[in-house]
Structure 1
Amino acid sequence: MKSSVLRSGFLVALVLTFSTWLCAGADTPPLLPGAEDNSATAGATPGSEGEPALFSVFNRPIILLRAELFGADPAERAQRATGRIDGILSRDIFGPIETVATADGIKILVGGELVLTVAPGDADALIGKTYEQTADEAARSLGQALQQAQRQRDGGLLMRAILRAAVATVILVVVIMAVVRINRFMRHRVLILERRLTEKLKERGLQIMSYAVKALRWVLRLAFWLLVAGAVFEWLAYCLSCFPYTHPWGEGLQLNLWKLILRIGASCVQAIPNLLVITLILLITRGVIGLVRAFFRSVGTGHIKIPGMELEAARATQRIIVVVVWLFAVVMIYPYIPGSGSAAFKGMSVFIGLLVSLGSSSVIGQFTSGLVLMYSRALKPGEYIRIGEHEGTVETLGFLSTKIRSGKNEELHVPNTVILGTTVKNFSRFSTDGGVLVHTSVTIGYDTPWRQVHEMLIESATRTAGLNRETKPFVMQTALSDFYVEYEVNARLLDPRQRGMVRAELHSHIQDVFNERGVQIMSPHYVDDKAQSKGGA
């Protein structure tokens, strides 16, 4: 309840601010198009020399003076008219109002005293209005302003206005409390509906919440705020209309609000054809994407064969075509988006484009590297590879990075640019041709016959599981150093993914065999001879 009241208070402040903008920034006053209020009792809104100036009385715009008359510019004319009307009101003269046509223009009189002269140049030629019509409208506005000024001096009228405003305030509080209670009740009902729907979905094996419930909750929240805002706005307009001095504000508030609503409604109606076109483009795009996915699904299952294209390349091609189709759809939709031709929309588009261009250079590099890896067939999911110090099985080959599972069951994400700029060892690519070679090196002294070392290394490989028994292991002497000979044993590995485990087992068997024969392994460093011979029996 407390949070709802706080939110309602914030909304009241927001509506008051918006209403002040409507009153002060309205471009069309109630009876004088193009005029604004800027006075307390009678006043003028002067501009620079030669610019139009507004003459207003008792907070009501009377006329926008545009022409010079008798050597006085519009600002001076408005100031003189303000001084005359102040003098007339100080003597409690409120009428009658007359208009008298002269050679210089049409004079507006109050109680037989001149207030101002409407010149032919004061008419707004852009809307085709004559200065006679301008003078008649000014006289009517002046009559309404004087009536409000006369009512302002009625103490009983002010007390009744205060009472009406107080009653309106009480009604506003009651309405807001009722709306809050109704909103709380509806939210409770929606929560019950959501629980029931969730239970039904769980029974069917679906662990999701209905989008309809989310949409209903959003609609209820929007309706609550619209009702509160509308009540506050109507209360404010009514209270301003109760008092003579603020009566023009109340009229302007309601008038400009309705104009704003009508303008928004007209824009929505005008946007309906464009929205229909956008919907049609989206439907066509969805259909084209469905055909593309069905085609490449058939390529993936083997029903349709494209020479030189494998499964991963087919998936990458599908994603690229889908992105291109959506980009083409966005380009087609853009001119039909409401407001796309406005300067604000264009500025936002330029800003977003600048952000994308500055922040996407590395992303584009990763994306391009991913395409090169896919179409060059350098890597495939399931292959056992080594990239720098990292070794493991390729899980996923993406556009931005490659996911690898190491022998310790760790997930590694390697950027595609790193893979493209690094030597990659692929242990699985030729594993079907008898198996990939697994090898390790030992260093043995010159006093041990090399044939005996060959025999022991081959025996060690024979004891090791995971090696191809059909292919005989072989030994190579890779270096003749100062104190020892470097031997390398090679054998065919059946499963490249077991490379680490097989090497570890091979190392253990090498140690066992050499210990059984009494041969000392001199790596990593040769320290001293044992009491017995290093040679085997």
Structure 2
Amino acid sequence: MKKRLKILIVGFFMTFLIVMSIPLVAAQQTPSPPSPKPTKQQEGVPVVFNEDTLFTIKERFGGYSPETRVEVITQRLQDYAKDYTLPVNDLKIVSEKIENIPLSVITGDNIEIVTITNRDAQAAEYARDELAQIYLQKIKKAISHYREERSTGNLIRGVIFTIVTTIILLISLFIINNIFTKIYQRLKAWGNTHIRPVYIGTFELIRANQLDNILIFVTQVTQALIIVGLFVIYFPLIFSQFFWTQGWAVIFWNSIFQTLETGWNAFSNYLPNLLTIILVTTITYIILRFSKPFFHELSQGAFHLPNFYPEWALPTYRLITFLIIALATIIVFPLLPGFNSPAFQGISVFLGILFSLGSTSIVANVVSGTILIYTRAFRVGDPIKIDDKFGQVIETTLLVTRLLTPTNEVISIPNSEIITSSIMNLNFATKELDKPYIVRTTVYLGYEVPWRKAYEALMEAALKMDGVADFPAPFVLQGELNDVYVTYSLNVYVNQDYFKDKTATDLEKTRSKLHENIRDCCQQAEIRIFAPSYEADPTAYGPAAESFVLPSGENN
């Protein structure tokens, strides 16, 4: 109910503002182009009284020009009409001569209003008496109409008409409000029963709630147009009842008709472009609606295309969407109203310059992001290492790639930087090559420790770790024989299913647990772990001191 009331109020004030602005608009209207040069029959200065043209004066009389004669005639008509004590029927034609020039004078109560000469009659192609009779009838009719409009009875009739018209308007608004209230209630009820989605085959083109919203919107627009139409009819009818607002009514109707005519001509001229825009927009919308579920199913693995990976589906959909919209924009843009105007072109050039100056890095990142997607360097969820940055990929866009580090920090790396860096993907070999991921760590043990004993301790530490693959078994490699210690590399195959949903933090915890196990097992086996930078003589710490050879080659 409140929404309907708002529509009524908005419609009233919109129409009221339009009506009140009409005199200002009319005063500022551009003058119409000059009419063709009048013929002899059409030449002359018109006598306008009470906004009606009575006749024209074409000839001079004595020392008075046609313009001066018209001013005098108009002033005398107004004086006679305003004096209600002067009856209209007292107006008559009197024939007389001035300096032997025959004249016909329209007079009343000794007030000469119009003087007609033979030259006036000749210019009008009438006899002088006949022309005087025509002028007399027009003057009587104009004065009678002038007084009738300003009579008390006419004003009372205008007030009564205004009251009746206003009551009819209010009743009409009340009826319209009730009718549309019931329509909205019916549409709301139909939303759950009668209104069904629009399908093309098995594809849902428009959902039921969308169709319901469209119908409600169309109904609201129709209601608003009806209300505005009532006010458009109401105000001119009221204005036409009173002589001081009759001009507004004429200007209002002329403005309405002129606006409708101008709008219709513009619409007719623009209709081919409009149909092209609607056609292009419709085709674009249908293509995008059909392509979205297609690529969604492709990304879910519902079906496969040769040499097309599921992770390419959504990026490909975005690229195709961008290209289709760009193509549609290129087609539609020149068809928009005012496209060829200097202002429109100036704004387009300005925006183009801004885009060109500010889009260099954006274009580089978009191109790099596209290359990374289609080279399949990584996917969302993969733990990767880019230079010295390690984390799990949580989002890939055309501009940046975001990593979640083991310390729950999010790093946004521009794609243009990633494309020039080395990328270590810890999941690629597992997912694509079916080779389990290996957790590797380096341990430095002294020469006095038999390598078999070292192997046993390191293997025991590996088997205690959670997520170790049953097959293949962990293995140890001897990397370098340094001056005072041997470099051992412990390699542990992890269970692919165990680490399927693990994060980068879980991988760090797994590596930490492996180090804990190594320290425990080496301590239990009485094996001393060296630091990488240790350079002291280890012979003082073990039973092999007597046979240990120093780097210089001399025995202790």
Residues 471, 525 of structure 1: alpha-carbon distance in 2 compared, 3 angstrom cutoff: closer
Q: 2:522 aligns with which of 514, 521, 524?
A: 514
Q: Is the 8 A contact 2:390 2:405 kept in 1?
A: yes
Conserved 8 A contact 1:385-1:426: yes
Which of the residues 159, 165, 169 maps onto 2:156?
Answer: 159
Deviations 1:395-440 (A, max 9, x none): 7654344466888999987653453465432123445485454223
Counterpart in the other structure of 2:5:
5
After superposing the two structures, state which structure 1 stretch, 149-158 or 172-181, moved more: 149-158
SS of the residue 1:378 aligns to: coil
Aligned with 1:385: secondary structure? strand
Match of 2:14 in 1: 14
Indicate how the Cα distance of structure 1 residues 143 and 405 shifts in structure 2: closer, same or farther if over 3 A, else same.
farther
Report what 2:257 is aligned to: 258
**Contact 1:441–1:488 under 8 Å retained in 2:** yes
Root-mean-square deviation (CA, aligned residues, Å) is 5.5
CA distance in 1, matches of 2:531, 2:72: 112
Q: 1:473 aligns with which of 469, 476, 480?
A: 476
Matches of 2:283 and 2:374, distance apart in 1: 29
Instruction: Note the alpha carbon deviations across 1:285-335, whole angstroms, 9 max, x for none.
Output: 679887999899999966555xxx766567655654553344233323334
Relative distance call for 1:269 and 1:149 in structure 2 (3 A) is same
Please say which structure displays the higher CA radius of gyration: 2
Deviations along 1:113-141, one digit per CA (max 9) or x if unpaired, are 89xxxxxxxxxxxxxxxxxxxxxxxxxx9
State the Cα distance separating 1:391 from its structure 2 match. 2.0
CA distance in 2, matches of 1:209, 1:311: 31
Q: CA deviation at 1:209?
A: 3.4
Which of residues 64, 89, 101 in structure 1 aligns to 2:78? Answer: 89
Q: Report the equivalent of 2:493.
A: 493
Q: Give the SS at the match of 1:111.
A: strand
Change (3 A) 1:390 1:226: farther
Q: After the TM superposition, which residues 315-334 of structure 1 pair with which residues of structure 2 at under 5 Å, given as runs? A: 316=315, 319-334=318-333
Deviation at 1:250, TM superposition (A): 0.6
Cα distance in 2 for partners of 1:424, 1:374 equals 13
| Distance (whole Å) between structure 1 residues aligned to residue 332 and residue 197 of structure 2 | 39
- Is 1:180 the counterpart of 2:177 in the alignment? yes
- Sort the Cα spacing of 1:198 and 1:253 in 2 relative to 1 into closer, same or farther, 3 A: closer
- 1:461 paired with 2:462, answer yes
Q: Does the CA contact (< 8 Å) of 1:58 and 1:245 recur in 2? A: no
Whole-angstrom CA distance in 2 between matches of 1:326 and 1:163:
60
* Structure 2 residues not aligned, in runs of 5+: 35-45, 55-59, 61-65, 92-105, 107-111, 117-137, 535-540, 545-556
Match of 2:377, SS?
Answer: coil
Equivalent residues in 2 for 1:224-373, closer than 5 Å? 224-281=223-280, 304=306, 316=315, 319-337=318-336, 340-341=339-340, 363-373=362-372
Paired residues, number: 450
CA contact (8 A) 2:462 2:474 kept: no
CA contact (8 A) 1:161 1:242 kept: yes
For residue 81 of structure 2, give the secondary structure of its aligned residue in structure 1.
Answer: coil
1:195–1:6 distance in 2 versus 1, CA, 3 Å: same
Rate the CA distance shift 1:522–1:412 in 2: closer, same or farther, 3 A: same
Structure 2 CA distance for partners of 1:252 and 1:449, relative to 1, 3 Å? same
Cα contact 1:435–1:492 (8 A) shared by 2:
no
Q: Provide the rounded CA distance (Å) in 1 between the counterparts of 2:192 and 2:410.
A: 38
Q: Which sits farther off after the overlay, 357-366 or 259-268?
A: 357-366
Q: Given that residues 76 and 113 in structure 2 are in contact (C-alpha distance below 8 angstroms), is that contact kept between their aligned partners in structure 1?
A: no
What TM-score, normalized to structure 1? 0.64
Cα distance, 1:84–1:372 mapped onto 2, change above 3 Å: farther
Q: Secondary structure at the match of 2:378?
A: coil
**Cα displacement (A) at 1:160:** 1.6
Decide whether the 8 Å contact of 1:476 with 1:488 is kept in 2.
yes
Distance in 2 of aligned mates of 1:450 and 1:56 = 131
Q: Structure 1 counterpart of 2:398, which letter?
A: F
Between the aligned partners of 1:17 and 1:447, the Cα distance in structure 2 is 100
- One-letter code aligned to 2:156: M
Residue of 191, 194, 199 corresponding to 2:191: 194
The amino acid that maps onto 1:89 is Q
Residue in structure 2 matched with residue 222 of structure 1 by the alignment: 221
> Residue type matched to 2:262 in 1?
R
SS at match of 1:112: strand
- What's the CA shift for 1:233? 1.5
Distance in 2 (alpha carbons) for counterparts of 1:521 and 1:185: 87
The whole-number CA distance in structure 1 between the counterparts of 2:269 and 2:327 is 25
